[in-house]
Structure 1
Amino acid sequence: MDIDTLIARINELARKKKSSGLTAEETVERDELRAIYLNNIRSNFRQQLDTIEFVEDAESSDNTKNKHK
């Protein structure tokens, strides 16, 4: 299930809950869809963090070297 379909179904269930309430099956479906969505968000965030590279500024590394002399 792609993310757009997932979000659309979650929103549909949220609207239904506000208007008429959810059945037990719909509540279980909603919880499962939310878990899938959150796992997707966490996975994407981890991937973004894994691609971050720390780069030292040349000026700050020169200052650090001078302090140690």
Structure 2
Amino acid sequence: MKQEQIDRINALYRKSQAEGLTEAEKEEQAMLRKAYVADVKRNLVAQLNNIDMQNPDGTVTNLGEEYGNKKKLS
């Protein structure tokens, strides 16, 4: 997410606290927040997929390869 988008999220928040938002601004704020949360989740998954763990027997396991690509059970 670009810094301009983060600045816009913050500006909309400050405006909502001070005077309120129009419907168009509320929609823009919701869209920007969803994009921000999606970026945070994507970055977290990427970080977790790059973790290597050394096992007691000395082997190294990449947790992303072992657990990262599994589908969630519903």
Which bin holds the TM-score, normalised by the shorter protein? 0.7 to 0.9
Higher helix share: 1
In structure 1, the gaps of 5 or more residues are 62-69
Write the letter of the residue equivalent to 1:34. Answer: R
Q: CA deviation at 1:20?
A: 0.8
1:50 aligns with 2:49: yes
Normalising by structure 2, report the TM-score: 0.72
SS in 2 for 1:54: strand
Question: Highest relative contact order (Cα 8 Å, sep 6+), 1 or 2?
Answer: 1
CA distance in 2, matches of 1:41, 1:5: 16
Write the letter of the residue equivalent to 1:55. Answer: Q
Computed over aligned residues only, the root mean square deviation of the Cα atoms, in angstroms, reads 1.6
Higher strand share: 2
C-alpha deviations, 1:16-49, integer Å up to 9, x for none? 0011100000000000000000000000000000
Deviating above 6 A after TM superposition, structure 1's stretches of 4 or more consecutive aligned residues are: none
In structure 2, the gaps of 5 or more residues are 58-74
Percent identity over paired residues = 35
Q: How many residues align?
A: 58
Normalising by structure 1, report the TM-score: 0.77
